[in-house]
Amino acid sequence: MYRTHTCGELRLSEVGQSVTLSGWVHKRRDFGGLSFIDLRDRYGITQLAFNEGIDPEMLSKARLQNREFVIQAVGIVVEREKKNTVLDTGEIEISITSLKTLSESKIPPFTIEENTDGGEELRMKYRYLDLRRKRVRDKLLLRNKISMSVRTYLNSNGFADIETPYLIKSTPEGARDFVVPSRVNSGQFYALPQSPQTFKQLLMIGGLDRYYQIVRCFRDEDLRADRQPEFTQIDCEMSFVEQNDILEIFEGLLRHVIRDVHSQELGEIPRMTYDMAMKLYGNDKPDIRFDMTFIEMNSLVKGSNFTVFENAELIVGIKVKGCANYSRKELDILTNFVKRPQLGMSGLIWMKVDDNGTPNSSVNKFFNEDSMKNWMTAFDATKNDLILILAGEKNKTRKALSDLRMHLAEKLKLRNPFEFAPLWIIDFPLLDWDDESKRWVAMHHPFTSPKPQDLSIINEDPGSVRANAYDLVLNGNEIGGGSIRIHEREMQAKMFDLLGFTKEEANEQFGFLMSAFEFGAPPHGGIAFGFDRLVALMGGDEVIRDYIAFPKNNSARDVMIDAPSKISNSQLNDLSIHISNNDVTN
Amino acid sequence: MYRTHTCGELRLSEVGQSVTLSGWVHKRRDFGGLSFIDLRDRYGITQLAFNEGIDPEMLSKARLQNREFVIQAVGIVVEREKKNTVLDTGEIEISITSLKTLSESKIPPFTIEENTDGGEELRMKYRYLDLRRKRVRDKLLLRNKISMSVRTYLNSNGFADIETPYLIKSTPEGARDFVVPSRVNSGQFYALPQSPQTFKQLLMIGGLDRYYQIVRCFRDEDLRADRQPEFTQIDCEMSFVEQNDILEIFEGLLRHVIRDVHSQELGEIPRMTYDMAMKLYGNDKPDIRFDMTFIEMNSLVKGSNFTVFENAELIVGIKVKGCANYSRKELDILTNFVKRPQLGMSGLIWMKVDDNGTPNSSVNKFFNEDSMKNWMTAFDATKNDLILILAGEKNKTRKALSDLRMHLAEKLKLRNPFEFAPLWIIDFPLLDWDDESKRWVAMHHPFTSPKPQDLSIINEDPGSVRANAYDLVLNGNEIGGGSIRIHEREMQAKMFDLLGFTKEEANEQFGFLMSAFEFGAPPHGGIAFGFDRLVALMGGDEVIRDYIAFPKNNSARDVMIDAPSKISNSQLNDLSIHISNNDVTN
C-alpha cells in the first residue's frame, strides 16, 4: 500500500498515529540539523520533519529529495510547535521514520506554484506539470463538480443522457466541418458533429421526451482567441413544450448549479426581448450587474444647430454615476476608445453635472442650460454625474456605446466575477441578412421555428419575423441558446427555401429529418449551453482555456503531443487520399 | 401547456380530475358508438375514451386519428369498468372533452410493438420509429441509469470526470486510427482516440490522482459482427496504487451498479490467474455461472494402444452432468460441432456412466473398465453422467473444448442472463507472439508494466514474463481490462524496444510521455470498461447494437442519415487533399 492517508487529511486528532504518505516534494527547507519537506498531492500539503538528533541517516536521505521527486514516507503524526494557519494540515507534521524515492525528477522548466514563472507556450508544452499547480487543478475539479451538478439536476427532472454519434454526415450549412475519410467506404467521408442538433430532434421524434448530453462538438473555424476547435456543450431537448416550459426548467438548472458551487440563491431570472436589449444595452448579451442603460435622446436634441445630432440616425447616452470629476485627459481617453477603427465613431459628447447641480457639456454652444436640464431629467442625473453621448448610424452607435459601457464598468470595477446576474433574451429575429453572400441566414439555426403570429409576413418581410428563440446570458456572456423547433415538413422546407437551399440540397442534406417529420413529430424545443464558458464563469474567469485539461493553442495545435502531424503514406493509401502538393506548407 | 400529466402517471387517485395529455396514437379500437385510443409516450400508455352518447362530434374526431398521429387530449379521469391489470394506468381511462391533432403520421413502415414486423435494415433506416418501441427505449433508459450509477460511485470515491481531447495524434501501433485532415495545418492530420490512454497517464503525472471519463473511442477495424467503429468506454486511472487497490475499487463499482439496476448483492469477486483460466476453461474469459471445468487426462490415459491419445499434446475432458442419455445422433452433432473448420478437431470421445454406475465409452476397445473407473474418479462422475474428451495440440484443443462447453451450456440452458457471475483474471502474459509480423506484440498495451519478479527473464524468455494486467469477466464476456502502468522512462523504452520500435519511432510517437516520466511520475494504474457491452449484459443481452441510440451497420454506415458520404470539391480543396481515383469504388 502506497499510503494510509492523503496529504490533505491529517489533523491534530491523528497525533500519535503511524501513517504512510506518498506525493511530490513541493519544497524542501534545510536548517542546521533539521529539514522539512512539504509533501504535495491533489488533496493538500503535509509537512514532513527530519531531525539529525533523532535519525541522522534519515536526514541525509531527505536532503537527496529535490523538487518534484515522488516519495513515500512513513512516520508518526506530531503536533507542530509553530502552527501554519494557512494549511489545513498546518497544526501537525510527520516525524519521518522511513523514506523511499518512488520517482526522481529533473528540474521542472517552471515553478509549480500559484504564480508560476512559466510562459503560456512552455506551460502548454508541459501541461502535465502545469496541472500540478493548485490553481489549475482546482479549475478541472470545479469542472467535474459542475458536470455532476448538471447531471444530477437533469436526471432528477427526467432527462436521459443519450449518446449520439460522433461520425456523422457533413453539411455545408454554417461553420466548416471537420471530416474523417472512410477507409471501408473509400472516397466517402464522415463529419464530426458541430452539435447533435438533428439527432436530438430525432430522439424527440423517437419519443424519448427529455434528452441531455454533455458532449464534445467540433468546428473547423479560423481561430480567434479563446476559441477551441473542439468544445463541450450541455445539449438538451424536450418534447411537448412551449418556450416558457424550457425557460423555467433551465432557469432551475442555473439556480441549482450556482447553489451547489457557490451556495448562492438566484432570484427569478428576468426576461427581455432582443429588441429591448438592443435598445437598452446595444447588445444581445448585456451585463446587467450594473446599470448605465441607454437613454435615447433623439426627441430631446433634434432641431438644434448641432449638425452631428441633426445628421444622426440615433443619439444615445449613458449616465456614469458620480464621475463628473473625470479630467479632460480621462475624457480624451474615452473619446479615443470610441474612435478606434473597430468602433469608428467620430467623437464622444459629454455632459457633467457640477456640485451645484448645474450642467456643463462639450456642446455648450449648441444647447442652453434648459435643454441640458431636460437631459438631466431624462437620465435621472444629479450632481457629480457624468453623461456620455454618441450619435450616428443606429447599429454602429449602439455597438460603440455598448463597448464603452463595458469599458467603463471594468474601469469602475463594477464587474464582480462572483456576483451572478443571469438574463433571458427572447424573441430573437428568425433571420439575419448576410451582406457577403447576399442572402438570409438563420440567426440561430435552420431548425428554429418562427413565431406563428409573424408567419403572415414571412414572404414580404422575412427580416421582421421573430423566432421562438432564446439565449441565456450571464454577466455579459451568452452561456446558452436554444429555440422551439420546427416539427412540420412543410415549414422546414419553407425555411430551407428562405435560406437559399434548392429542394435537392435540402433533401440531400436533411431529407432524413424531413422524412421523420412525416411520421408524427411532437412539438419540441431545446437549448445548448457552452460548458467550457459556463465553468469558466463559475470559476470567476472569462478565459476558457485553463478550464480544459488539454487545450489547443490558437493555431489549433496540441503542442504537448505535437498534433496535428503527418501520417504515413500507407495510412494515406489505405484511405485512398493524397495530399495536394501545391498546398502543402508544412 | 401541452400536458398536465404524462401517459404513465394517472391512477385511481386522480379520478374526477380534468387532465391534459399529449402523445402518440398507439392503437385505436372502434366499437359501435364507442372508440378507445391508447395514447403512448415515454412514460406509458393511457386509454382515452370516446362515447357517441356523450359527444358524437368528439367520437367522429377520434376516428380521424390514426396510428402514430400526435394528439393532445383534454378530459376527465374516470374509473374503468373493465380494468387492465397489465398497464400501470389500467384502472382508469380519460373521458375526452377536447381533442387536437398536433402532427399527422404516414403509415409507419413497421409496427411500433414489442415484437415488430420490421427487419433489421428497415428499423435502422427508420431508427427514430424503432426508438418508439418500449423494448428499444427501455434499453437506452437503462444505459442512462447505469451511466449515472457509475458516475455516482466514482465521484463518491474521489474520481474526477476530466475530458480529454478527441483531436489527437495518430500512432500506427495497434488498430487503425480514424484520421482528420487539418485545414489550418495543411498536409497534417489529427487522429481520433482509440482510447485516452496516454492522456489519463499524463493526468496522473499531473497529480489529478483519480480520473474517470465515460468517453467515446474510435477504431477503424474491418468490421466484425457487433463491432462499432465508435464505442464507449468507462475509462479510469488512479495514482499510488497496486493491483489489489484497483481490483477492490472496481469490484465495488460492479457491485454498486448491479445493486442499483437489479437490486442484487454480489459476493466477493473471485480472482483467477490467466494460466489457471486456460487450464480450467480453455478461455481467458470463462463463464463461471456453470461448472464443467476441464479435467486434464494425460497421466490417466498415456500408455495405451489408442494412438489418438498417444500422439496428443493434451487430452482433456468435461463432465456433462446427467446427460448419459444423449443419443448417438446427439453425440454425432456434438462431434460435428468440434470438427467444424473453425475448431478443426479430428473427433470427440465420449464416456457414459449407466444407471448402475458402469462406464461405457467410444474407446471401449482401448481401455478396460478399471481405466474408465479411474476416469470417473478424476471427473467425480456418477451414474448418468456424460464425459466428453478432446485430444490434440494444447491451445487448439482447449479452444475447441471451451467452445463445446459453451455450446452445451446454451443447450442445457445454464446461462441465465440475470445471474451475474463476475471473475477477475490476473497475471496475464506481458507479450504475445504475432506469427504474421514475426514479432512480439503487447498483450494489453505497450504501457503495461511487467511483474518485477519476472524482469530477470525479460531478455531470454520474454514470452514467459507476466504483466500486472487484469481483466474483469462477466458471464463469459470481458467487460473491463487494465493494468499497472510503467512509470519509468527506461522501462518504457525497453518495452518499446521489445515491441520492435526503433528509438526514433518511440520518440516520435510517445516522446511526450517518456519526457513526462522524467519529471516525477507517480506509480499508477487503471482500467477501462466496455460500456456498450456492460449495459447490454445488464439488460440481459449480449448484442450491443440495440443499446446504442444510433448504431452503424456492419459496413460502418449510418443508413438513416446516409453517412459516410461524398463531400464537395471545395471542402477537399480547403483541406488540401484529393481522392485517389483508382481506389474509388463508390
Q: Return the pLDDT at B580.
A: 84
Q: Which of A66, A565, A568, A586 to mutate to probe the B interface, most B CBs <10 Å? A: A565
Q: Which member of A127, A188, A512 has the closest CB to residue B566? A: A188
Q: Which of A248, A243, A202, A272 is nearest to A525 (CA)?
A: A243
For residue B490, list chain A residues with Cβ-Cβ distance below 8 A.
none
Residue B480 CB neighbours (<10 A): 24
CA distance B265 to chain A (A): 25
Instruction: Please tell me the distance from the alpha carbon of residue B105 to that of residue B111, in angstroms, as a whole number.
Output: 13
pTM: 0.96
Nearest-Cα residue of chain A relative to residue B574: A583
What structural domains does chain B harbor?
12-103 (2.40.50.140), 137-271+422-570 (3.30.930.10), 290-411 (3.30.1360.30)
Q: Which residues of chain A have pLDDT under 50?
A: 583-586
Average pLDDT over chain B, rounded to an integer: 95
Q: Which of B139, B567, B576 to mutate to probe the A interface, most A CBs <10 Å? A: B567
Interface of A with B in 499-528 (CB under 8 A): 512, 516-523
Determine contact, residues A502/A221, Cβ cutoff 8 Å.
no
Residue B337 CB neighbours (<10 A): 17
For residue A577, list chain B residues with Cβ-Cβ distance below 8 A.
181, 577-580
Q: Return the pLDDT at B497.
A: 94
Give the H or E element holding residue B440: strand B439-442
Q: Return the pLDDT at A542.
A: 85
Determine contact, residues B50/B110, Cβ cutoff 8 Å.
no
Q: Return the pLDDT at B118.
A: 85
CA distance B240 to chain A (A): 5
- B560 interfaces chain A, CB cutoff of 8 Å: yes
Q: Return the pLDDT at A583.
A: 46
A with B: how many residue pairs have Cβ under 8 Å apart?
379
Q: Return the pLDDT at A227.
A: 84
Reported as a single tens digit per residue, the pLDDT across A297-355 is 999 998 899 999 999 999 999 999 999 999 999 999 999 999 999 999 999 999 999 99
Nearest-Cα residue of chain A relative to residue B110: A519
Q: Which member of A2, A162, A519 has the closest CB to residue B129? A: A519
| Coil, helix or strand at residue B272 | strand
> Between chains, do B579 and A576 touch, taking CB under 8 Å as contact?
yes
For residue A184, list chain B residues with Cβ-Cβ distance below 8 A.
220, 222-223, 555-556
> Between chains, do B187 and A566 touch, taking CB under 8 Å as contact?
yes
- A545 interfaces chain B, CB cutoff of 8 Å: no
For residue B584, list chain A residues with Cβ-Cβ distance below 8 A.
186-187, 576
Q: What is the pLDDT along chain B (586 residues), one digit of tens a residue?
A: 999 999 999 999 999 999 999 999 999 999 999 999 999 999 999 999 999 999 999 999 999 999 999 999 999 999 999 999 999 999 999 999 999 999 999 999 999 998 888 888 999 999 999 999 999 999 999 999 999 999 999 999 999 999 999 999 998 767 899 999 999 998 999 999 999 999 999 999 999 999 999 999 999 988 677 789 999 999 999 999 999 999 999 999 999 999 999 999 999 999 999 999 999 999 999 999 999 999 999 999 988 999 999 999 999 999 999 999 999 999 999 999 999 999 999 999 999 999 999 999 999 999 999 999 999 999 999 999 999 999 999 999 999 999 999 999 999 999 999 999 999 999 999 999 998 889 999 999 999 999 999 999 999 999 999 999 999 999 999 999 999 999 999 999 999 999 999 999 999 999 999 999 999 999 999 999 999 999 999 999 988 999 999 999 988 999 999 999 999 888 999 899 988 865 444 3
- A132 interfaces chain B, CB cutoff of 8 Å: yes
- A552 interfaces chain B, CB cutoff of 8 Å: yes
Residue B137 CB neighbours (<10 A): 18
- A409 interfaces chain B, CB cutoff of 8 Å: no
**Using the 8-state DSSP alphabet, how is residue A305 labeled?**
S
Contacts 24+ apart (CB under 8 A), B119-123: B121/B553, B121/B559
Instruction: Please tell me the distance from the alpha carbon of residue A375 to that of residue A351, in angstroms, as a whole number.
Output: 9
Nearest-Cα residue of chain B relative to residue A568: B172
- In this predicted complex, what is the ipTM? 0.95
CA angle, A110 as apex, A105 and A113 as ends, to 5°? Answer: 95
Q: Which member of B105, B182, B576 has the closest CB to residue A580? A: B576
Q: Return the pLDDT at A36.
A: 98
Residue B84 CB neighbours (<10 A): 15
> Between chains, do B163 and A568 touch, taking CB under 8 Å as contact?
no
- B578 interfaces chain A, CB cutoff of 8 Å: yes
- B437 interfaces chain A, CB cutoff of 8 Å: no
- Amino acid at site B584: V
Q: Return the pLDDT at A222.
A: 82
> Between chains, do B187 and A132 touch, taking CB under 8 Å as contact?
no
Chain Cα centroid distance, residue B78: 45
Q: Which member of A105, A132, A222 has the closest CB to residue B207? A: A132
Q: Return the pLDDT at B581.
A: 67
> Between chains, do A155 and B141 touch, taking CB under 8 Å as contact?
no
Q: Return the pLDDT at A114.
A: 86
> Between chains, do B563 and A141 touch, taking CB under 8 Å as contact?
no
Q: Return the pLDDT at A289.
A: 97
Phi/psi of residue A480, nearest 5 degrees? -160, 155
